[in-house]
A and B are shown apart, each in its own frame.
Chain A
Amino acid sequence: MLNTLLPILLFAALGLAVLGALRRVRMWRRGRPSKVNLLGGLLAMPRRYLVDLHHVVERDKYMSNTHVATAGGFVLSAALAILVHGFGLQSKILGYALLVATVIMFSGALFVFKRRLNPPARLSKGPWMRLPKSLLVFAASFFIATLPVAGILPANTGGWVMVAVLGLGVLWGVSELFFGMTWGGPMKHAFAGALHLAWHRRAERFGGGRSTGLKPIDLEDPNALLGVEKPADFTWNQLLGFDACVQCGKCEAMCPAFAAGQPLNPKKLIQDMVIGLAGGTDAKFAGSPYPGKPLGEHGGHPHQPIVNGLVDADTLWSCTTCRACVEECPMMIEHVDAIVDMRRHLTLERGATPNKGAEVLDNLIATDNPGGFNPGGRMNWAADLNLQLLSEVKTTEVLFWVGDGAFDMRNQRTLRAFVKVLKAAGVDFAVLGLEERDSGDVARRLGDEATFQQLAKRNIQTLAQYRFKRIVTCDPHSFHVLKNEYGALGGDYQVLHHSTYIAELIAASKLNLGQHKGASVTYHDPCYLGRYNGEYEAPREVLKALGIEVREMQRSGFRSRCCGGGGGAPITDIPGKQRIPDMRMDDIRETEAEVVAVGCPQCTAMLEGVVEPRPLIKDLAELVADVLIEADAPATARAAAAKREPAEVH
């Protein structure tokens, strides 16, 4: 009996799965076109799945072992079951192989089951609670049904009852695992995930690469969409990427905005996009809602505007673009790209950048700096430093990119400290002076692609007039934009963060350094230096060279928590239950360090905004400048002056 029932069930489920797959593909194709190497991607997919994705999953050993056993066992079981039970190839060897595969799958599924007994808040419940049971039933049913094939049990053991039980078990199993995969069940992640990896919009990320720069809009084309209004405005592979989400909630657990009680949850956002591409409401979402926004009040459709239907604008503006979600995502989904795409529509088409957003963008347009300061004051911080101007020397070894921190009195201390280090090392460097403009970072993260490109093009034009080997900057945001985002507009430079450059100077013994005294130090990794550019080591090397043993925070390196200052978040200022910098300061206090070493003007400003008493915030350049041993006498006099505590300025 089973010999007729099983093929029917298997092929019916497979047939439905194919139909579901076609339906799903049609949904993705509602998106805009995107240039992807279709065949090459498919060929590269197994490697991406087994190597790149596995590297991310492996950060959680329990889950990676569980997943390898369950998924590997399942793929093997499914393939063999189709051969053995579908096509009736009832050889003993295949039977034994299928038995082994189902045992592996079953043991994996047991661990899935165990984790689901008391699941952490980040995991989605609902149908996901059913999945381990479905996996167990699938594996068990095929195990028992295969025993006769392997010759362990005589055929027709158990008679009709057995056939009925196994039939039901297989029905449940294949429903969940075969056609559930393409009809929107939890197993959808395997189907959509595999294709998402094949046709990922940032293929450079695989094989250990890094791709973090935002993609430009072609503003020369008057018909180009200015951002994403409706789900169908995403590219088709972005829609596919949303569909790959397994709702593991690793993004949610890392998101600083979610933790601060701001109305953003990256997992929910991706699920909302899935609702958008398929149509419906979020009533059935089985995970944590956006803080302060109950479920069931939002819904959408591929051709309906997203904002104020599917997602509220404040959700999009809560993001600090810290990329913690992208870093954690085992499916390598690009949350930040999606958020910026939707912000672009709000800013470029609707003129709806909240709070100080519009003012900052106007300032950038009119004065090339977000504060609206008179551009003529850009070099005031260095009035007494006799810096070489690139417009005069025309060529230099190192171009020191000052950044908009030039207008900020706190950051001027960092800049002056770095100049002191450069001079002590005898570096041939120059600055652009009044020719420098904002890098465009904030404008771009606020969705104002037009202003970004305007600033970028002018900067590129300026830079093209001069000759220099490298650009060094104390601002990771400028660093990222110059290094990763100017390329698409025709500006390719070798750019270094000052921590990397100081580490180089130290390695080349160009600096005569003493030892840092006293206070214990922790280091806060800036998002745009760490996750965006993979520089975790150089700052630590510099600190080590100063004789500092860094008291690492629990969340450091690639898991560093954002200071709350990125992505224009301090400008759009979406309220939450607590402030992100306060949470970061709590992380810092846990280490009991007296000083936090930072490498970013945003981080400095955000962390110094935390009320005292709190650890001191010092830029790496300041820490290095503090222990510089300078040979000539006038220099030491200046060093002593630099050590004075700065007066408070109102």
Chain B
Amino acid sequence: MSTKVISLVSIGAHPGSGRSRRAEQDARAVELGLQLAGDNLQVVHAGDHRQEALRAYLGMGLDHLDVLEQPEGADVLEVLGNYLRDAGAQLVLTGSQAETGEGSGMLPFLLAEKLGWPLIVGLAEVESIENGTAQVLQALPRGQRRRLKVRLPLLATVDNAAPKPRQSAFGPARRGVLAARDVAIVEDELLADAELQPARPRPKRLKVIKAKSGADRMKAATAKASGGGGKVLKDVSPQEGAEAILKLLVEEGVLR
């Protein structure tokens, strides 16, 4: 029995030119989906079906792509959730963060919450799917992997640890169908009231390399992220735990 796999895609933007393109991470979600489900992969976008950039996903070898017609600024959470539930999705793949629009990276979390499904962040590889349970590898920093067993249905975000997307070819991109579907439109009240301002680049922590030799540098680059400053808190009350986290955030300058 094959598992129903659905990839969610968005419109990307090239970081240099700002021109529309397939979103890098979403393309990886499609790639992973194609590797898992082949022609049975279903790909969905919530937005405007006239966006030519969507054809770049079709060019990866899809014969059609479902587009849930949504105006700009609509809250797509509801329609996506309904669509996934109606389609009987077992495994939903998506990029971690959109390259255009709000790009908050919140969608996968909200969607998983709404559907009541588990969410895997940074899916690198699906090793097996048996008896309604998936065994997957989750990407951790510095090339580390964590093996997880998760019951289906599940939602997973992919980032740069997932397989590189295949080339998008002109022929299939031109032939593929962008199938528009009329769905309900929910206004995003939060966005409508919110005030948007351009993001400030977060200050980067200075990294002083003390290594003298190439071997030292290599060691520094590949060492596990086990800093000396960490503290393991065991058997603490939620109150104490929260205070410890808050203290750390203030120390790190994340909160002021």
A residues lining the B interface (CB < 8 Å):
222, 226, 347-353, 357-358, 361-362, 365-368, 372-375, 448-451
Contacts and interface: CB of A to CB of B under 8 A. Distances in A.
Given A351-B61, A366-B14, A366-B19, 18 more contacts: A347-B167, A348-B169, A348-B170, A349-B172, A351-B166, A351-B172, A352-B169, A353-B167, A358-B166, A361-B167, A362-B168, A366-B21, A367-B14, A374-B17, A375-B16, A375-B17, A449-B170, A450-B170
Which of the listed residues A347, A348, A351, A448 has the most CB atoms from chain B within 10 Å of its own CB?
A351
Interface string B1-41: 00000000000001011010100000000000000000000
Nearest to B14: A366
B187 to A, nearest CB: 32
Interface string B58-99: 011100000000000000000000000000000000000000
A367 B166 contact: no
B169 A351 contact: yes
Contact of B170 (A226, A352, A367): A226
A442 to B, nearest CB: 15
Given A222-B174, A362-B21, A352 B16 contact: no
Contacts, number: 53
For the complex of A and B, 5 pairs with smallest distance between CB atoms: A351-B169, A351-B167, A358-B167, A366-B14, A374-B16
A374 B167 CA distance: 22
Contact of A373 (B16, B19, B174): B16
A366 B16 contact: yes
Contacts of B170: 226, 347-349, 448-451
A349 B16 contact: no
Nearest to B21: A366
A347 B167 CA distance: 9
A115 B197 CA distance: 81
Interface string B160-203: 00000011111110100000000000000000000000000000
Contacts of A450: 170
A361 B170 CA distance: 11
Contacts of A358: 166-167
B169 A367 contact: no
A358 B59 CA distance: 12
Nearest to B165: A358
Contacts of A348: 169-171
A444 to B, nearest CB: 13
Interface string B140-173: 0000000000000000000000000011111110
Which of the listed residues B19, B60, B61, B171 has the most CB atoms from chain A within 10 Å of its own CB?
B171
Contacts of A347: 167, 169-170
Contacts of A226: 170-171
7 contacts: A222-B174, A348-B169, A349-B172, A351-B59, A357-B167, A366-B14, A450-B170
Which of the listed residues B14, B59, B61 has the most CB atoms from chain A within 10 Å of its own CB?
B14
Contacts of B19: 365-367
A226 B172 CA distance: 11
A450 B52 CA distance: 14
B223 to A, nearest CB: 25
A221 to B, nearest CB: 11
A142 B21 CA distance: 73
B59 to A, nearest CB: 7
Nearest to A348: B170
A192 B59 CA distance: 40
Nearest to B169: A351
A353 B19 CA distance: 22
A365 B167 CA distance: 13
Contacts of A367: 14, 16-17, 19
A347 B168 CA distance: 9
Contacts of A366: 14, 16-17, 19, 21
B16 to A, nearest CB: 4
A362 B173 CA distance: 14
B14 A352 contact: no
B21 A349 contact: no
Contact of A349 (B14, B17, B166, B171): B171
A133 B21 CA distance: 64
Contact of A365 (B21, B166, B169, B174): B21
Contact of A351 (B21, B60, B174): B60
Contacts of A451: 170
A349 B168 CA distance: 9
B60 to A, nearest CB: 7
Contacts of A351: 59-61, 166-169, 172
Nearest to A374: B16
A347 B171 CA distance: 9
B211 to A, nearest CB: 19
Nearest to A451: B170
Nearest to A454: B170
Nearest to B164: A358
Contacts of B61: 351
A88 to B, nearest CB: 62
Which of the listed residues B17, B19, B61, B170 has the most CB atoms from chain A within 10 Å of its own CB?
B170
A348 B171 CA distance: 5
A350 B21 contact: no
Nearest to B13: A366
Contacts of B168: 351, 362
Contacts of B166: 351, 358
B31 to A, nearest CB: 11
B41 to A, nearest CB: 16
Contacts of B59: 351
Nearest to A366: B14
A480 to B, nearest CB: 23
Interface in B79-122: none
Nearest to A350: B169
B171 A352 contact: no
Contacts of B16: 366-367, 372-375
